[in-house]
Amino acid sequence: MSAIGRMACSISHDMRHSLTTIYANAEFLERHDRSASARAELLLEIQEAVLAMTERIDSLLEYGNSGRTKSLVRESVSLVVKKAVAAVKCHPDGRNVSITVGKFPPAEADIDATSLESAICNLLLNACQAATRSTHVPEVKVHLTEVDERIYITILDNGLGIPASVRKTLFDPFATAGKPNGTGLGLTLARRIAEEHGGSVCLDESNPERTVFTLSLTKNRLLPLGML
Ligand SMILES: Nc1ncnc2c1ncn2[C@@H]1O[C@H](COP(=O)(O)OP(=O)(O)OP(=O)(O)O)[C@@H](O)[C@H]1O
Ligand SMILES: [Mg+2]
């Protein structure tokens, strides 16, 4: 039950993001100054958000039935990062942020693509929210590098840095600061997902001009850790 509880918590957290996108798009659609192609795009984003939520709920029901979590499958991490960027660009907090993506290597690894996408979305949303609150034009940059058996996804933003009140407890559940609707679970969940992929999430740098988080993962989860 505790595993189901953890999974339900993670899925509810993701669903808040999808619901925020759906609500915002429904509001946009209410306005009559949108072109037919812009309306079609908004509808497509709603459909994609609903499909993503359905997939997440199905995985919870599947786990409830069988007791088995999704096994890790060899897939392109670059593709997962690109999907996360696309999802965050549809979210109201990501819409007005310039999110640039570096040139990615092919980068394949044994992953649960849905969970990994959710972890990256959490880091990207934090970056967009922080960048939007600064006085600069909000910018977020994403890089992906491969070093031997490891893959590193780095997310940089030009926000004001981590608030002092959460600096020591950043990855603890419910540590939140400066956000009206923050639950303080995004980083906890992102780190747990990275750990399930043989890696972690670390804060590399934080100052009033630049904040950098890195999510690392291991390509082959069957390799003993000593070999890495
Ligand atoms: N890139 C960032 N720049 C500045 N502060 C950040 C950044 N990322 C995280 N933080 C700080 O860390 C806190 C915890 O982040 P976390 O993602 O765990 O929770 P949250 O964003 O508040 O809520 P949610 O559960 O909706 O993600 C944030 O409230 C914010 O104050
Ligand atoms: Mg967050």
Cα(219) to centroid of ligand 1, in Å? 27
Q: Are residues 94 and 174 in the same domain?
A: yes
Final residue belonging to a domain, choices 46, 65, 84: 65
* Minimum CA distance residue for ligand 1 atom 8: 126
88 lines ligand 1 (CB under 6 A): no
The half-sphere exposure of 207 on its side-chain side, counting CA atoms within 13 A, is 3
- The band of 25, judged by pLDDT with boundaries at 50, 70 and 90, is very high
Are 41 and 118 in a shared domain? no
Do 106 and 168 lie in a common domain?
yes
Query: Which atom of ligand 1 lies closest to the CA of 184?
Result: 19
Query: What is the atom index within ligand 1 of the atom nearest the CA of 159?
Result: 3
177, amino acid identity: A
Same-domain status, 124 and 159: yes
Distance in angstroms (rounded) separating the CA atoms of residues 120 and 17: 13
The rounded Å distance from CA 17 to ligand 2 centre is: 10
Tell which of 19, 41, 65 closes a domain.
Answer: 65
Dihedral angle, C-alpha 137, 209, 157, 207, nearest 10 °:
-160
Residues 139 and 27 in one domain: no
Burial string for 200-219 (b: 16+ CB within 10 Å, else e) reads ebeeeebeeebbbbbbbbbb
Closest-CA residue to 59 (of 76, 45, 71): 71
pTM over 0.85: yes
- pLDDT above 70 for 26: yes
- Do the Cβ atoms of 78 and 144 come closer than 8 Å? yes
Tell me, yes or no, whether 109 and 206 share the same domain. yes
Q: Tell whether 121 and 23 lie within a shared domain.
A: no
Q: Measured at the alpha carbon of residue 81, what is the angle toward residues 76 and 83, in degrees to the nearest 5?
A: 95
Residues 98 and 149 in one domain: yes
Could you give the CA distance from residue 151 to residue 145 in angstroms, rounded to a whole number?
Answer: 6
Domain range enclosing 7: 2-65
Q: Crossing angle for the helix pair 2-30 and 36-66, nearest 10 degrees?
A: 170
- Shared domain check, 58 and 79: no
23 pLDDT higher than 70: yes
40 vs 5, 17, 211, CA distance in Å?
Answer: 37, 21, 35
Q: Please tell me the total count of domains within the chain.
A: 2
Please say whether the beta carbons of 83 and 120 come within 8 A: no
Residue 179 Cα to chain centre, angstroms = 17
pLDDT in tens, 2-12: 888 888 888 99
Give the ligand at the shortest distance from the Cα of 171.
Answer: 1
Which residues are 14's β-sheet partners? none
> Looking at the CA of 177, which ligand is closest?
1
Maximum distance among all Cα pairs of the chain, rounded to whole angstroms = 60
What is the whole-number distance in angstroms between the Cα of residue 67 and the centre of ligand 1? 32
Please check the confidence at residue 20 and state whether its pLDDT lies above 70: yes
Distance of CA 4 from the midpoint of ligand 1 (Å): 25
- Domain co-membership, 48 together with 84: no
CATH number (domain holding residue 164): 3.30.565.10
**How far is the centre of ligand 2, averaged over its atoms, from the C-alpha of 183 (Å)?**
7
Average pLDDT over residues 60-68: 82
